[in-house]
Amino acid sequence: MSLLKNTLLLLAAGALAAVRSFFSPPRVAERNPRTEARGHRVWGASLKTWAFRIALLIVLFGVLGFLGAASGIIPIKASSGHWAITSWFLDFSKRRSVKTHTIGLKTPPLDDSRLVLKGAGHYELGCAPCHGSPKLQTPRVVQAMTPTPPFLPPRINRWEPADLFYIVKHGIKFTGMPAWPAHQRDDEVWAMVAFLRMLPTLDAARYRRLVGEGEVEANAGGDPDPLSGLLPPDKTPQAVTKNCARCHGSDGLGLGTGAFPKLAGQRSEYLVASLEAYARRARHSGIMEPIMAGLSAEEMREIADYYANLSKSSTSPPLAGDASSLRALGEEIALLGIPKQRVPACDACHGRTGASRNPTYPKLAGQYAGYLVLQLELFRDGNRGGTAYEHIMRSVAANLTPEQMQAVALYFAAMQPDPNHAVK
């Protein structure tokens, strides 16, 4: 220990000497007419001297820093917190970095209630444990972190939507704030931003409704039951109540808003294949990947079988003239394909009767049109991933125009599901 102490003292003395030498005026070389005649000047020698001293200082302080870290004398304890000047500097650096890296980033429309719902469900599971919520403002454990995760509702308005997008997508180094698990899914990140923009206006009751907890009632023990009123506990598997019902509902109809896809009546084989794809990160979703990674194969099968055996109802409101015409185009594409664009008939694999070529292909009858359009766009852009057959849809979606995507989606959304859908 004494040897280490003496070594550090010697290095400190050397550093002081180097600093003193650094600020002393450089020795000016004597005038040499022969050198001046060749075009060399005295300031050139001085510049080399300064460069050498700067390099020496950099090396010296680098060695000092390494020895200080190796000695273990630098405290890393979170309990000490940051100095006020340190906190200010880190916050200032963060804000300037975010502003610089969001220059030119365009914000899409964020007033869609489906985006807010999608962001709300993930906030409760992935964000509220650290940043709190209108129903729990100060999570106790994270208050002992350095830096302490801020309670978000009163701080959201400090940031523009583009700033929030950048922070949610990329996270923040050295703070415990993680990046979005699936970088391909900007649409999910924008959904989170849409919810965050609404967060400051929410009270506890409205927040609970948005995150899928409904009207909270007390259970037999007198404690609040967040799933009360949502699920029939005698019929719904625990794997569904804990992981799926908040967004997809216990009835599998996606809360009826279009924010989440309908799972009721879907093929069990397709659901299992999709859940497994999420778990191994082959299908991209920052919302689904973390949830599925924690499930066993038995739980995935239990979830899939539960939703596959539910009845899926599909009621389509009357369409305006333009929408009706667009749906007719979708029917033509679904039944006949578009040979000149190398688009096959959709109905052959995804039709109502279930006479599919492969049980791991999804049935689309009655699915929300907005969800179907989003999946086609993700396939087109190479951002969706999926089961072992997702490459088929990548090539199909790449050959469809936005209008054709909308048309096919409207056609399938209006299609009544096969009443003999259940998997026995």
Residue type at 325?
S
Whole-angstrom Cα distance, residue 341 to residue 22? 72
Whole-angstrom Cα distance, residue 193 to residue 195? 5
Whole-angstrom Cα distance, residue 230 to residue 239? 14
Q: Domains in the chain, start-ordered, CATH in brackets?
A: 108-210 (1.10.760.10), 237-308 (1.10.760.10), 321-414 (1.10.760.10)
Residue type at 70?
A
Residue 108's closest CA among 146, 150, 37, 165?
165
Q: Concatenated DSSP letters for 350-364?
A: H-TT---S-TTSPP-
Q: Given this model, what pLDDT does residue 223 score?
A: 44
Residue type at 349?
C
Whole-angstrom Cα distance, residue 111 to residue 164? 15
Whole-angstrom Cα distance, residue 226 to residue 266? 27
User: SS3 for 81?
Assistant: coil
On whether the CB atoms of residues 261 and 368 are closer than 8 A, the answer is yes
pTM comes to 0.80
Which residue matches tokens 């931003």? 193
Looking at residue 218, the DSSP 8-state letter turns out to be E
Q: Specify whether the backbone of 408 is left (phi greater than 0), alpha (psi in -120 to 50) or beta.
A: alpha
Whole-angstrom Cα distance, residue 284 to residue 139? 30
User: SS3 for 344?
Assistant: coil
User: SS3 for 338?
Assistant: strand
Question: Residues with Cβ < 8 Å from 270, sequence gap 6 or more?
Answer: 359, 360, 361, 362, 363, 387
Whole-angstrom Cα distance, residue 254 to residue 240? 13
118, 168, 257, 337 from 260: Cα distances, Å:
7, 21, 7, 27
Whole-angstrom Cα distance, residue 127 to residue 135? 13
Return the bridge partners of 385, or none. Answer: 283
On whether the CB atoms of residues 163 and 102 are closer than 8 A, the answer is yes
Q: Reduced to 3 DSSP states, what percent helix, strand and coil does the chain have, rounded to the nearest 5?
A: 55, 5, 40
Which residue matches tokens 């409207």? 410
Instruction: List the pLDDT tens digit at each of the 424 positions of the chain.
Output: 555 556 556 656 665 665 565 555 555 445 555 555 444 555 555 777 778 878 888 888 888 888 888 888 888 888 888 889 999 999 999 999 999 999 999 999 999 899 999 999 899 989 999 999 998 887 788 888 888 999 999 999 999 999 999 999 999 998 989 999 999 999 999 999 999 999 999 999 999 999 887 643 434 444 444 444 444 445 688 899 888 998 999 999 988 888 999 999 999 999 999 999 999 999 999 999 999 999 999 999 999 999 999 976 655 555 555 677 898 999 999 999 999 999 999 998 998 655 567 889 999 999 999 999 999 999 999 999 999 999 999 999 999 999 999 999 999 999 887 655 443 3
Whole-angstrom Cα distance, residue 151 to residue 131? 5
Looking at residue 60, the DSSP 8-state letter turns out to be H
204, 265, 268, 291 from 244: Cα distances, Å:
22, 15, 15, 9
Residue 205: which H helix or E strand, with range? Answer: helix 204-210
Return the bridge partners of 225, or none. Answer: 217
